[in-house]
Structure 1
Amino acid sequence: MVCRGFIASLNQGRSWIVLPLLLLCLFSLTTCSRDGLNSTPITIGINSWAGYDPFILADKLDLFNKNNVQVEIRRFASTTEQAQAMRDGEIQGAGLTLDEVFSLVGAGFKGKVVLIVDYSMGGDMVIGQKEIKSIAELKGKTIGYEGSVVGGFLLDRALYKYNLKRSAVKLIDVQADKWHDSFVEKNVDALVCFNPVATELLNEHEGNLLFSSADIPFEIIDVLLFSESFYHDNKPAITKILRAWFETLSYIDTNLDKAAEIISAVKNTTPDNYKQGLNSLVAPDLTANRAVFDPTSDKNIYKYSQAIVDFMMSKNMLSKRIHTAGLFESEVLLEIQNPAVYSR
Structure 2
Amino acid sequence: MTRRHLAAVPSLSLALLLALLLLAGCASPGEKQAAAPAGSTITLGFSAWPGWFPWQVAGEQGLFRKNGVDVELKYFDSYTDSLNALATGTIDANSQTLNDTLASVAGGAKQSVVLVNDNSSGNDQIIAGPGISSPAELKGRTVAAEQGTVDHYLLLLALRKAGLTEADVQFRPMPTDAAAAAFVAGQVDAVGVFAPFTTTALKRKGSRAIATSADFPGAIPDHLVVTRDLVSRDPKAVQGLVSAWFDALTWIGEHRPEALQIMAKRAGVSVSDYESYDKGTTIFTLERNRTAFSGELDGRAKEIADFLVSSKLVDRAPPLEGLFAPQFVRAVQP
Distance 2:50 2:269 in 1: 11
Partner of 2:309: 313
1:180 to 1:155, Cα distance in 2 relative to 1, 3 A = closer
Relative contact order (alpha carbons < 8 A, sep ≥ 6): 1 or 2 greater? 2
Alignment check: 8 A CA contact 2:142 2:171 kept: yes
Counterpart of 2:97, as a letter, is T
1:148 to 1:227, Cα distance in 2 relative to 1, 3 A = same
Note the C-alpha offset of 1:205: 5.8
Partner of 2:188: 188
Distance 2:239 2:298 in 1: 22
Distance 1:283 1:325 in 2: 26
**Sequence identity, in percent?**
29
Distance 2:204 2:137 in 1: 22
Task: Encode CA deviations 1:22-58: one digit per residue, 9 max, x unaligned.
Answer: xxxxxxxx9x9434xx3xx312222212111111221
Task: Encode CA deviations 1:109-132: one digit per residue, 9 max, x unaligned.
Answer: 111110111111111111112443
Structure 2 residue matching 1:73: 3-state secondary structure? strand
Note the C-alpha offset of 1:270: 1.3
Distance 1:285 1:137 in 2: 38
Partner of 1:77: 77
TM-score normalised per structure 2: 0.83
Note the C-alpha offset of 1:206: 4.9
Counterpart of 1:166, as a letter, is E
Alignment check: 8 A CA contact 1:116 1:222 kept: yes
Structure of greater Rg? 1
Note the C-alpha offset of 1:319: 2.9
Note the C-alpha offset of 1:148: 2.7
Aligned residues: 300
Note the C-alpha offset of 1:167: 1.8
Partner of 2:322: 326
1:204 to 1:169, Cα distance in 2 relative to 1, 3 A = closer
Where structure 2 has 5 or more consecutive residues not aligned to the other structure, the ranges are 1-34
Alignment check: 8 A CA contact 1:57 1:262 kept: yes
Note the C-alpha offset of 1:105: 0.6
Note the C-alpha offset of 1:82: 2.0
Q: Does 1:262 align with 2:258?
A: no
Alignment check: 8 A CA contact 1:44 1:72 kept: yes
Note the C-alpha offset of 1:67: 2.4
Alignment check: 8 A CA contact 1:42 1:92 kept: yes
Q: Does 1:282 align with 2:278?
A: no
Q: Does 1:50 align with 2:50?
A: yes
Q: Does 1:65 align with 2:68?
A: no
Alignment check: 8 A CA contact 1:98 1:220 kept: yes
Alignment check: 8 A CA contact 1:97 1:223 kept: yes
Note the C-alpha offset of 1:274: 1.1
RMSD (CA atoms)? 2.2
Distance 1:206 1:86 in 2: 40
Partner of 2:163: 163
Alignment check: 8 A CA contact 1:46 1:75 kept: yes
Alignment check: 8 A CA contact 1:80 1:147 kept: no
Partner of 2:38: 34
Note the C-alpha offset of 1:282: 1.3
Q: Does 1:302 align with 2:306?
A: no
Distance 2:204 2:182 in 1: 14
What does 1:207-286 align with in structure 2 at a 5 Å threshold? 207-286=207-286
Note the C-alpha offset of 1:183: 2.9
Distance 1:327 1:49 in 2: 23
